[in-house]
Amino acid sequence: MSAAPAGSRGPARPELDIRRYLDGVGPLLAGNANVIMQLSWPAVGHGVVESKVESGQVTRHPFKRGRTTLTYISVALLGNDADRAAYRKAVNTSHVQVRSDPDSVVAYNAFDPELQLWVAACLYYGTRDIVAALHGELEPEVADALYQHAAHFGTTLQVRPEQWPADRAAFDAYWDASLALVDIDETVAAYLLDLLDSRQFPLVIRLPSWRLVRFMNVGFLPPFFREQLGLEWTAANERWFRSLLRALGGVYRHSPRITATFPFNFYLWDVRRRVRQGRPLV
């Protein structure tokens, strides 16, 4: 634990090495579950479903979209201020096209900090779940440090630091209040159920593992969101889910961090390489 700076008040916050808790298996286990939560707000859901940014549509370019999303997480959590500034500029060039028009079901704008805050909150919620599942519950001081670090999910774009709930208790209050805005209509539900079944990937890729991937992602969905999509989850499902997580946790806790953190460490390296070479980031 680090010492308190001279003149500071209160106990020192432990230094957080995020690489200890950022496991590359997370997006496979819970990535689709997290997207479901993000898109459960109508303005976010329709903003994605109706997006005119063809190159960023997961149904047409699943691998490119996956790289972009994982790179964003890598830059937000592992990168420095320069990395985040470069990626913000790149993402903004795509987001400028994501805004509702007169024919849209709901009004939306990808630059809306409130919508970005909700997406960032979902990313933190999912990160917290993965960490707890694979590493066990963190000590309160470490959990607090992880929470404060997760503010980068939002502040890497247009969310201001003061918009991020002040602490974990404030986050829980924000989360509970935000659930009142969840409303998944038939259009967005169809999109999300296809995503859950990995239909964006060619059959030869999704066939070997889609049932397991679907099972794990449904397991990581909070019950409220399962109900929104009419997804069943039994006590037996929960027991199998927890057994698989215990086994995976044992593997990842004893794996070299450079291996366990892959592909996040690779995507951070890649974005820095692209910046040096003047290549597009998204």
Which amino acid appears at position 130 of this protein? I
Question: Which residues make Cβ contacts (< 8 Å) with residue 120, sequence separation at least 6?
Answer: 150, 151, 153, 154, 159, 164
Residue spans of the domains in the chain: they are 24-277
pLDDT for 33 equals 96
| Residues whose CB is less than 8 angstroms from the CB of residue 18 and which lie 6 or more positions away in sequence, other chains included | 77, 78, 146, 149
CA distances from 12 to 137, 164, 167, 226 (A): 21, 21, 16, 40
Per-residue pLDDT, 198: 84
Q: Contact 36/227 with Cβ under 8 angstroms? A: no
Q: What is the pLDDT along the chain (282 residues), one digit of tens a residue?
A: 333 333 333 334 456 889 888 999 999 899 999 999 999 999 999 999 987 765 556 666 677 778 899 999 999 999 999 999 999 999 999 888 888 988 888 999 999 999 999 999 999 999 999 999 999 999 999 999 999 999 999 999 999 999 999 999 999 999 999 999 999 999 999 999 999 998 877 777 776 678 999 999 999 999 999 999 999 999 999 999 999 999 998 888 888 989 999 999 999 999 999 999 999 998
pLDDT for residue 53? 66
| Residue 187 φ/ψ, nearest 5 degrees | -65, -50
Compute the radius of gyration of the chain from its Cα atoms: 19
Give bridge partners of residue 109 from the DSSP assignment: 99
pLDDT number for residue 207:
67
What is each CA distance from 121 to 38, 48, 124, 208, 242, in whole angstroms? 9, 17, 5, 32, 24
Which pLDDT score is estimated for 81? Answer: 96
Residue 12, pLDDT score: 40
Report pLDDT digits (tens) over 214-230. 999 999 999 999 999 99
